[in-house]
Chains A and B, each alone.
Chain A
Amino acid sequence: MRSILFKPFRFNPIRTSIRSISTTKPTYSIFGKLTQTDSSENDLDLIKNQKQSSTTETDSEPSIDSITPQNDEKLIEYHKQQSLKKQIKKEDYLNPIKLEMFNKVVKQYGFFKNDQIVDHDGKLFKFHLNPEEIELCEPSIYLTSFRIKSSTKKATVVNRFVRGFNLKTAINQLHFNPKKMSIELEKLLKKGLEEGEKMGVNTDELYISNLWCGSDGYTRKRLQAKGRGRAGLVQHKYVHLKCILKTNQTKLRQQYERELKLKVAKPKRGVLNDEPLNFKVRPWYKW
């Protein structure tokens, strides 16, 4: 048996010199630095404190933390310029003189009347615009939706329902329509309401002039297994909605043109008159 069993503790100076302290605890812990850090004073807070201290020294410049996208004037100005650049305006695509004269006519009559005598640069002109030009000159709001998971067939059913409606009536009707596309269309029209307010037109008189849907592309296709070794194609279609809102100005002009046409038209001569039929019309035979 070895004699180490009850050997008393001996201090060995040579050995201890290798490792400076002779305790059960190691000289230093690998975790020493980590454990000492307080959770309340983390790195981020330190950085913030440093920032604040730096700002107090130089009061001339505001601290970076206080600047937000909502109060950063430079950023707001930049975005304003960008959105103006992106906006589609009729001024960029129409002859300025024509537009000026158009506005003069509208100011005089409340809507555009064709072939009126207009004063321009001290000269009088008989001002005529073709129907396409009139359409461009009149105020309109062009709305486009985002990508919608639906098909053109489904969307068209709802579109036909509100085409030509007054904007607010359409929103009201769509709100109580159980179809999915009516929800999407309602969202779009509400956006139009906002834009109309931005534009400064009377939103009560806005109406849906054109409303259509289109395929949004990137249709996902899947195979559908059929009987007898055949296969079908399942198509996951996406659509977008597009809408043109117009003001009362257009409606008044159209009304005026219709009346003018009637005035100019020759009196109809013929066997048939334009009066309604004097018997009940039903879609089936009654014999």
Chain B
Amino acid sequence: MKPSLNLIRLLHYKQKVNKYPVVNLSDVELTKPRFGFRRIRQPIIAQSKITNTLFPNFELAKKYIEQGKRIPNRFMNQTTPEIAKENFEKFQESIALGEPHFKLGNNKVYFPQGRICLLRNNAKHTPYQAKFLVPKAMNKMDLRDYLWNIYGLRALNITVQLQPGTWKRGPWDLGRYRSPQLKKMTVDMADPFIWPEVPKSLVDSLEDQMKNGEKFVELNTAKGSDKDKPLENNDGMYKQDKLPNTYIPKNKKKMGKKMVKIFNNEMNKKSQMEQLNKYLNL
């Protein structure tokens, strides 16, 4: 069947204005809101604000139970005020008894080999903190046990600082290598400790030593005419007075020395002969 002509929409069809669809103006919303039309949900229990407690998670868990909902994992097994108080009492008791406030390690080491070095405090540290340089294999628990067993020092808290190994270059090649990483631990203590000042006389003497040593290195590595430079270190201990030289050419030096030697030998011979004659009564 052949379709009628007026049903076919031509390729270049253009609707005439009088054939536009008719719309009721009151139905049209000209400025449609772009937000605020969606359903606003009630805040979840985890978002509810809780104040006046040290253990908000514990309170939140309670709320979940009240509303008959499952407690999310992150609020499970939280310390209750009771447990916290219990721990605190236990801690205080152990301090009063002079016992360790933590579980001591079972591994018995009789001769600990690691290098543990007490460092000077940085500006950021309080007198209640002490910093140690420790072996890289050591952890917080190790240091806590170590300080307790050897020095009887109670480490209240330990933080670890693992320094990154910086790139370094050798003097003889183009290669570079990582310098070893350093592990340091900062320990919180019950009693304050302040490092004593290094005595000024000691610092001065060490500085002097260094400066004097540098002068020797300078002389040993001197090139050309600088080899004749006088040593002026150690309060002029090595300084020698330079006496005026006369100029004598190299070839004249060699000949002259020989000649003076021969002359002296002849003179000696003469005196020896005289002595011999005197002895023999000739």
Which residues of chain A have a CB within 8 Å of any CB of chain B? Answer: 1-2, 4-7, 9, 12, 15-16, 19, 21-31, 34-35, 37, 39, 42-45, 68-70, 75, 79-80, 82-84, 86-90, 92-97, 132, 136, 139-142, 144-147, 195-196, 198-199, 210, 216-218, 238, 240, 244
Contacts and interface: CB of A to CB of B under 8 A. Distances in A.
22 contacts: A1-B82, A2-B86, A5-B89, A22-B98, A24-B96, A26-B98, A29-B193, A31-B118, A31-B193, A39-B197, A45-B201, A70-B236, A79-B240, A80-B241, A87-B244, A93-B256, A93-B260, A136-B252, A141-B246, A142-B245, A145-B225, A199-B244
Most buried by A among B193, B225, B243, B246: B246
Given A144-B225, A147-B224, 16 more contacts: A4-B86, A6-B89, A22-B96, A26-B153, A34-B196, A44-B199, A79-B240, A84-B243, A88-B247, A90-B248, A95-B259, A97-B263, A141-B245, A142-B245, A199-B244, A244-B247
Nearest to A94: B256
Contact of A240 (B195, B205, B225): B225
Interface string B66-100: 00000000000000001001100110010111110
A26 B252 CA distance: 84
B85 A5 contact: yes
Nearest to B267: A96
Contacts of A4: 86, 89-90
Nearest to A215: B224
A97 B228 CA distance: 33
Nearest to B224: A216
A29 B237 CA distance: 46
Contacts of B118: 30-31
A92 B99 contact: no
A97 B199 CA distance: 66
Given A4-B89, A35-B196, A147-B223, A140 B247 contact: yes
Nearest to A81: B240
Contacts of B144: none
B248 A88 contact: yes
Interface in B215-253: 222-226, 228-229, 234-237, 239-248, 252-253
Contacts of B154: 26
Contacts of A23: 98
A142 B86 contact: no
Nearest to A217: B224
Contact of A93 (B85, B228, B240, B248): B248
* A interface: dominant SS: loop
B151 interface: yes
Contacts of A87: 243-245
B119 interface: no
Nearest to A28: B152
B191 interface: yes
B115 interface: no
A88 B246 contact: yes
Nearest to B223: A218
Contacts of B85: 5
Interface of B: 82, 85-86, 89-90, 93, 95-99, 118, 151-154, 190-191, 193-197, 199, 201-202, 205, 222-226, 228-229, 234-237, 239-248, 252-253, 255-257, 259-260, 263
Contacts of B191: 25, 29
A136 B196 CA distance: 68
A96 B89 CA distance: 104
B201 A19 contact: no
B89 A7 contact: yes
B71 to A, nearest CB: 20
A22 B190 contact: no
A194 to B, nearest CB: 9
A92 B202 contact: no
Most buried by A among B96, B97, B235: B97
Most buried by B among A6, A140, A145: A140
B257 A92 contact: yes
A-B pairs with lowest CB-CB distance, top 10: A93-B256, A42-B199, A216-B224, A142-B247, A26-B152, A195-B244, A88-B245, A30-B151, A87-B243, A240-B225
A178 B127 CA distance: 60
A216 B256 contact: no
Given A147-B224, A217-B224, A42 B202 contact: yes
Contact of B246 (A5, A29, A90): A90
A44 B152 CA distance: 31
Contacts of B240: 79, 82-83, 86
Contacts of B257: 92-93
B151 A26 contact: yes
A67 to B, nearest CB: 11
